[in-house]
Amino acid sequence: LVRVLDGERLSGRIVEVEAYIGEDDRASHARFGPTERNAAMYGPPGHAYVYLIYGVHHCLNLVTGPEGFPAAVLIRALEPLEGTERMRLLRGGRPDLTNGPGRLCQALGIDLRFDGADLCAPDALLFVEEGQPVTDEVVGRSPRVGVTGDERARTAPWRLFVKDSPFLSR
């Protein structure tokens, strides 16, 4: 994931994500259908869905479903690669730069302006760049973090992460 901020590249390797799939997923923002807030989830794949939680923290999702079907992947954690000093400044000097969805958005300067942005556009200020592939052996699965509600939402193994990464949110 790359953010270009004032001409500087801030980047990180995605090491933890959570999937949210369709209106039947009781943990998804799409569970009550389309709204102004979740409109980007129904948009074309490869675009950002950014929202604010608790009125404080931004969260970045990558829309993955076909247009009209709400599916997205929440980016939960990054391994910082480039621009770490700038990230530290944006995080107020804190050492925990990108281990959590709100922290990584703060470290990269991601806010609601990026909601609906094309993360595949060649001139984008926020985009996904091809990185080193990971093998199935190093990918862990678990239920999503902090999900309550029905059993399927609570237990679905839709959190994927790089095992043994020191940059995970949990």
Confidence (pLDDT) at 70: 98
Q: Under DSSP, is residue 63 helix (H, G, I), strand (E, B) or coil? A: strand
- The predicted model gives 143-169 an average pLDDT of 95
Q: Tell me the pLDDT band of 92, cut-offs 50, 70 and 90.
A: very high
Q: Under DSSP, is residue 71 helix (H, G, I), strand (E, B) or coil? A: strand
Q: Is the pTM of this model over 0.85?
A: yes
Whether 170 has a pLDDT exceeding 90, the answer reads no
Could you give the domains of the chain? Answer: 2-162 (3.10.300.10)
Higher-scoring residue by pLDDT: 55, 87:
87
Query: CA angle, corner 135, sides to 132 and 138, nearest 5?
Result: 105
- The predicted model gives 84-112 an average pLDDT of 97
Q: Write the pLDDT tens digit of every residue in 11-48.
A: 999 999 999 999 999 999 999 999 999 999 999 999 99
User: 72 is written with which tokens?
Assistant: 């997205």
d(CA 29, CA 39): 10
